[in-house]
């Protein structure tokens, strides 16, 4: 919604299963040694919602990728569907390989917003030697909005008989995302937002929840920063904070952006959000494990 500081290039990535993944890339304007950054969007959104913050990250001189998740945004094929949660993680693996070819960097930083936060965390737990740092923005690890028990029963039944049957994503009210009237209008008019997902998608998404909430032994996160919106109607902030205190990590910081709603990108006053992004993007200082919470 907010214009980027510098417009992106549109990029297509060929995945190993033949899927063409489309998205946005900001390339360094000059030779840079900055660690590349991958930015993962939410369940209903797409990269077009986050061009401003992605371009802010690009100001560090790093290569920034903002792909649309398969079946969402610019990707019309298999709309709102996935074969298995491993496919989402494989896509991140393949994007990491692409960044290595582009930059010769063996590691990358990852940003995950809302639903993309749990995918980012799951990948970082599995690939902690490849993930240099993690930024989780209102991460969807503990969602406050649910499909409801009736739809849960229908989804369970559909998994056996019609796994590609679609169900509404329970985020139809733009006020859940933002109190900004202009941003609410943007969401209402957005023809690329994902409004329905298959039974298989929703089931695999719930399995991803469980994986992130209960990490396997040895799956520690890298240096991680969490940003939460104080008036978030989509995420259970207290549960995310409790998770962050218990989750093994090289370093962990959690911050609450005051007087803000779920999609921090859409706030009229984005100064604190922008400053925290810039702080995260800076190289880490001295080593050590820290736990900072509101």
Quote the pLDDT of residue 1: 83
- In the chain, domain spans: 9-145+207-292
Q: Which residues contact 5 (CB under 8 A, 6 or more apart)?
A: 52, 55, 56, 58, 59
Residues above pLDDT 70, as percent of the chain: 95
Quote the pLDDT of residue 136: 98
Band the pLDDT of 242: cuts 50, 70, 90.
Answer: very high
- pLDDT tens digits along 79-132: 999 999 999 999 999 999 999 999 988 899 999 999 999 999 999 999 988 999
Quote the pLDDT of residue 282: 80
Q: What is the mean pLDDT of residues 192-218?
A: 95
Of the candidates 8, 52, 59, the one whose C-alpha atom is nearest the C-alpha of residue 34 is: 59
Quote the pLDDT of residue 277: 94
- The CATH class given to the 9-145+207-292 domain equals alpha beta
Residue 98 and residue 11 in contact, taking contact as beta carbons nearer than 8 Å: no
Provide the b/e sequence for 149-181 (b: ≥16 CB within 10 Å). eebeeebeebeeeeeeebbebbbeebebbbbbe
Residue 285 and residue 205 in contact, taking contact as beta carbons nearer than 8 Å: no
- Enter the pTM of the model: 0.95
Residues above pLDDT 90, as percent of the chain: 88
d(CA 109, CA 61): 13
- pLDDT tens digits along 265-285: 999 999 999 999 999 988 654
Quote the pLDDT of residue 283: 66
């Amino acid at each position: 919604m907010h214009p980027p500081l510098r417009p992106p290039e549109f990029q297509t990535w060929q995945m190993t299963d033949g899927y063409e993944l489309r998205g946005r890339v900001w390339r360094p304007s000059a030779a840079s040694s900055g660690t590349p950054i991958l930015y993962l969007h939410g369940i209903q959104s797409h990269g077009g919602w986050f061009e401003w913050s992605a371009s802010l990250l690009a100001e560090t001189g790093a290569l920034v990728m903002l792909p649309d998740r398969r079946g969402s945004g610019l990707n019309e094929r298999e709309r709102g569907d996935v074969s298995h949660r491993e496919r989402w993680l494989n896509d991140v693996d393949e994007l990491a390989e692409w960044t290595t070819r582009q930059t010769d960097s063996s590691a990358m930083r990852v940003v995950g917003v809302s639903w993309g936060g749990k995918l980012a965390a799951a990948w970082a737990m599995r690939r902690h030697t490849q993930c240099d740092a993690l930024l989780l923005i209102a991460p969807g690890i503990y969602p406050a909005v649910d499909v409801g028990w009736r739809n849960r029963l229908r989804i369970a039944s559909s998994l056996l008989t019609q796994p590609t049957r679609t169900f509404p994503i329970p985020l139809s009210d733009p006020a859940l995302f933002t109190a900004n009237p202009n941003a609410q209008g943007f969401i209402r008019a957005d023809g690329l937002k994902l409004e329905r997902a298959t039974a298989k998608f929703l089931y695999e998404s719930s399995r991803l929840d469980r994986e992130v909430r209960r990490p396997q032994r040895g799956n520690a996160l890298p240096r991680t920063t969490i940003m939460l919106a104080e008036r978030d109607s989509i995420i259970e902030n207290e549960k995310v904070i409790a998770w962050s205190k218990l989750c093994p990590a090289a370093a962990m910081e959690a911050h609450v952006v005051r007087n803000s709603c779920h999609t921090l990108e859409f706030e009229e006053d984005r100064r604190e959000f922008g400053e925290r992004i810039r702080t995260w993007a800076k190289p880490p200082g001295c080593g050590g494990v820290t736990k900072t919470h509101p």
